[in-house]
């Protein structure tokens, strides 16, 4: 391979940011650096703390960014547009025709600017889809499918997807959505699921676990992590209301994101004895926290199959806990739970069905425990190394194609 070919990764989030996206992108960059010269252009403060050292691989270059609160939607809209413009000029400045530019869909404005800049430099392009727009905005209720904004985004996507050389998706529910766009060849699409970020191994239910010590032998239902616009926290709260008379069932809820404001407001308005709200749990306590519950819930809104990341699922499986996912049956999380018999799938935004499923799981604890034992086994197939091997394979194929194109007389 030609050593002069660079891999340029454009991302808003990158270590030392502790978000899930940053952690994954950091690992991907390091994994690809084993066989490629990698430069990361990041909008995370201090990501270039070691400087843009040409001898460092991957090297990190930081662009300035503005990060308003998630609730400040107008300011955030302006901020992601400004970031896209800055990324555009940074890519144009650093990219050459034999390079590969790898972008992630966070924020949603980034791919359009990055891919345009790469194509102006006649570079090869690769996109990692974490969230798909406008589909995610439609599912969250921000826009209608017939709105001008949705139509403009679909028009932009048609041109974006057509000009990409490779598209990486993390779920089997994404390709059907991409197939709706003309010109998206199936051969461009590569399925590379995310991986477990915790040590894999079944954890016994421990009555001395600090998160369940005062809950005696109750059946614990957990909700954890980031709740974004594609999640429905109200579904879990309403299910808890329906189960408030069940003395043996208790909910522990901890996380962050816009959905937690909604959940906190619900709890403040109507306090339930069977619900315990906790502050976000630090990473060093995450294994103990995830091991505290008998079952975990992931509550999606309607119509989010293919548009939302199921990454938290893998960590829940890693500690050996079954999951109840409220989602369409063709979503990635639902497919995995059904195929492996490691959880339950209920319709989205259906508190009654969720409550009934929780009741059934609590009634037959032995069967629930067996699902947890299987979950820890299933988690082993979602390894970091397996995912990074696939990323290296895709980049290697693109690299060969980029070199061949650069040597072609027609270029």
Q: Which CATH number does the domain housing residue 228 bear?
A: 3.40.50.2000
55 pLDDT tier (thresholds 50, 70, 90): low
- Residue carrying the six token digits 């992601």: 80
Residue 381 to residue 388: CA distance in whole angstroms: 13
Q: Which residues contact 157 (CB under 8 A, 6 or more apart)?
A: 133, 181
Per-residue model confidence (pLDDT) at position 53 = 54
Confirm whether 145 is domain-assigned: yes
Decide if pLDDT at 405 tops 90: no
346 pLDDT tier (thresholds 50, 70, 90): very high
Answer yes or no: do 177 and 32 share one domain: yes
Answer yes or no: do 283 and 358 share one domain: yes
Q: Domain residues for 74?
A: 6-195+383-407
Answer yes or no: do 225 and 178 share one domain: no
Across residues 20-38, what is the average pLDDT?
95
Decide if pLDDT at 311 tops 70: yes
Decide if pLDDT at 406 tops 50: no
Closest CA to 103 of 123, 132, 127: 127
Answer yes or no: do 396 and 272 share one domain: no
Confirm whether 164 is domain-assigned: yes
Query: Percentage of residues in the chain with pLDDT exceeding 70?
Result: 94
Count of beta carbons in the 10 Å neighbourhood of residue 236: 29
Confirm whether 329 is domain-assigned: yes
158 pLDDT tier (thresholds 50, 70, 90): very high
411 pLDDT tier (thresholds 50, 70, 90): very low
Residue 82 to residue 368: CA distance in whole angstroms: 49
3 state DSSP class of 316? helix
Per-residue model confidence (pLDDT) at position 129 = 95
Contact of 361 with 343, CB cutoff 8 Å: no
Answer yes or no: do 31 and 48 share one domain: yes
Confirm whether 203 is domain-assigned: no
Decide if pLDDT at 365 tops 60: yes
- Helices 258-269 and 233-242: crossing angle, nearest 10°? 30
Across residues 135-144, what is the average pLDDT?
85
Count of structural domains, the chain: 2
Lowest mean pLDDT segment, chosen from 21-30, 85-94, 186-195, 214-223: 214-223
Across residues 232-257, what is the average pLDDT?
94
Answer yes or no: do 223 and 349 share one domain: yes
What does pTM read for this prediction? 0.88
Answer yes or no: do 223 and 333 share one domain: yes
Answer yes or no: do 109 and 245 share one domain: no
Across the chain, mean pLDDT equals 91
309 pLDDT tier (thresholds 50, 70, 90): confident
Decide if pLDDT at 369 tops 80: yes
Confirm whether 1 is domain-assigned: no
279 DSSP 8-state letter: P
Answer yes or no: do 234 and 184 share one domain: no
Answer yes or no: do 182 and 222 share one domain: no
Answer yes or no: do 101 and 231 share one domain: no
Closest CA to 229 of 143, 156, 150, 147: 143
Confirm whether 334 is domain-assigned: yes
Confirm whether 191 is domain-assigned: yes
Per-residue model confidence (pLDDT) at position 3 = 56
End-to-end alpha carbon distance in the chain: 19
Decide if pLDDT at 403 tops 50: no
Answer yes or no: do 182 and 266 share one domain: no
Confirm whether 208 is domain-assigned: no
């Amino acid at each position: 391979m030609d050593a002069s070919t660079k891999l340029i990764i454009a991302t808003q989030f990158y270590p030392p940011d502790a978000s899930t996206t940053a952690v994954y992108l950091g690992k991907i960059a390091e994994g690809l650096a084993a066989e490629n010269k990698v430069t990361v252009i990041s909008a995370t403060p201090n990501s270039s703390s070691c400087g843009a050292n040409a001898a460092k691989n991957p090297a990190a270059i930081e662009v300035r960014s503005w990060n308003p609160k998630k609730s400040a939607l107008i300011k955030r809209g302006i901020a992601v547009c400004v970031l896209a413009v800055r990324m555009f000029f940074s890519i144009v400045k650093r990219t050459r025709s034999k390079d590969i530019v790898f972008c992630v869909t966070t924020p949603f404005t980034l791919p359009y600017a990055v891919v345009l800049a790469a194509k102006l430099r006649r570079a090869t392009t690769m996109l990692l889809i974490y969230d798909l727009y406008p589909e995610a905005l439609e599912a969250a209720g921000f826009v209608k499918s017939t709105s001008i904004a949705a139509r403009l985004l679909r028009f932009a996507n048609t041109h974006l997807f057509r000009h990409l050389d490779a598209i990486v998706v993390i779920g089997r529910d994404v390709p059907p959505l991409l197939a709706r766009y003309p010109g998206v060849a199936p051969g461009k699409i590569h399925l590379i699921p995310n991986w477990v970020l915790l040590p894999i191994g079944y954890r016994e239910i421990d009555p001395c676990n600090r998160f369940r010590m005062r809950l005696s032998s109750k059946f614990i239902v957990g909700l954890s992590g980031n709740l974004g616009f594609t999640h429905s926290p109200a579904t879990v709260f309403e299910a808890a209301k329906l189960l408030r008379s069940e003395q043996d069932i208790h909910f522990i809820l901890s996380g962050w994101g816009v959905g937690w404001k909604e959940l906190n407001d619900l709890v403040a308005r109507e306090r339930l004895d069977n619900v315990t709200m906790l502050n976000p749990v630090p990473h060093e306590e995450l294994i103990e926290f995830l091991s505290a519950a008998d079952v975990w819930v992931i509550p999606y809104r309607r119509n989010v199959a293919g548009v939302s990341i199921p990454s938290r699922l893998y960590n829940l499986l890693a500690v050996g806990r079954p999951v109840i996912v409220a989602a369409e049956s063709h979503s990635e999380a639902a497919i995995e739970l059904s195929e492996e018999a490691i959880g339950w799938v209920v319709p989205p935004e259906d508190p009654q069905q969720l409550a009934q499923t929780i009741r059934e799981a609590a009634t037959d604890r032995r069967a629930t425990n067996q699902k947890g034992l299987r979950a820890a086994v299933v988690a082993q197939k979602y390894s970091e190394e397996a995912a990074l091997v696939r990323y290296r394979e895709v980049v290697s194929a693109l690299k060969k194609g980029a070199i061949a194109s650069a040597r072609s007389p027609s270029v």
